[in-house]
């Protein structure tokens, strides 16, 4: 699983002109799934995201997690995170999982993040043409790939 995590003051996702998910302070998590991903990847990644200390404490040091500050999380599926640009100018998405595998993995990931965070997580709509708005805070943007844990 590959993610791009953005610390935000607010974020929302719109489909067909309707806001389907929105948060105030917290994390926007873009997630791409591969066929090689497992439940262990979900568990590790969820714990990492929820406990990532990228929010400032009282002294202005990034020492608090989204859970510590009572923040929210918006998870949006994004198969383009697995784009290969090695050949030519048209990205290849061959590494991205097909929907029959990716959708259940995405749903399991959202459920696990909710468990670890202790509250409901907002989401986009898998496979839809989504418009994502965010106000990046910092800016702080971090990428995590479960295939490169070390």
Contact 91, 84 (CB under 8 A): yes
Name the active-site residue from 79, 109, 122, 146.
79
Q: Is 20 exposed, middle or buried (0-12, 13-18, 19+ CB in 10 A)?
A: middle
Active site (annotated) includes residue 80? yes
The active-site residue, picked from 9, 38, 39, 80, is 80
- Backbone φ/ψ region at 26: left (φ over 0), alpha (ψ -120 to 50), beta: left
Annotated active-site residue in 3, 6, 14, 78: 78
Dihedral class, residue 88 (left if φ above 0, else alpha if ψ from -120 to 50, else beta): left
Q: Compute CA distances 54 → 63, 68, 105, 150, whole Å.
A: 6, 10, 26, 19
Instruction: Identify whether 55 is a catalytic site residue.
Output: no
Q: Is 78 a catalytic residue?
A: yes
d(CA 42, CA 134): 24
| Residues labelled catalytic | 78-80
């Amino acid at each position: 699983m590959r993610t791009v995590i953005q610390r935000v003051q607010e974020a929302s996702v719109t489909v067909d002109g309707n806001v389907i998910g929105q948060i105030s302070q917290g994390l926007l998590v873009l997630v791409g799934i591969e066929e090689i991903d497992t439940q262990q990847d979900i568990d590790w990644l969820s714990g990492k995201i929820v406990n990532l200390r990228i929010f400032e404490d009282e002294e202005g040091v990034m020492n608090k997690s989204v859970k510590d500050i009572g923040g929210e999380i918006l998870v949006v599926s994004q198969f383009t995170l697995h784009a290969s640009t090695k050949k030519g100018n048209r990205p290849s998405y061959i590494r991205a999982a097909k929907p029959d595998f990716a959708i259940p993995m995405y749903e399991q990931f959202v459920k696990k993040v909710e468990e670890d965070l202790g509250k409901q997580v907002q989401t986009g709509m898998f496979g839809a043409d989504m418009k994502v708005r965010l106000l990046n805070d910092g800016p702080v943007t971090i990428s995590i790939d479960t295939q490169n844990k070390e």
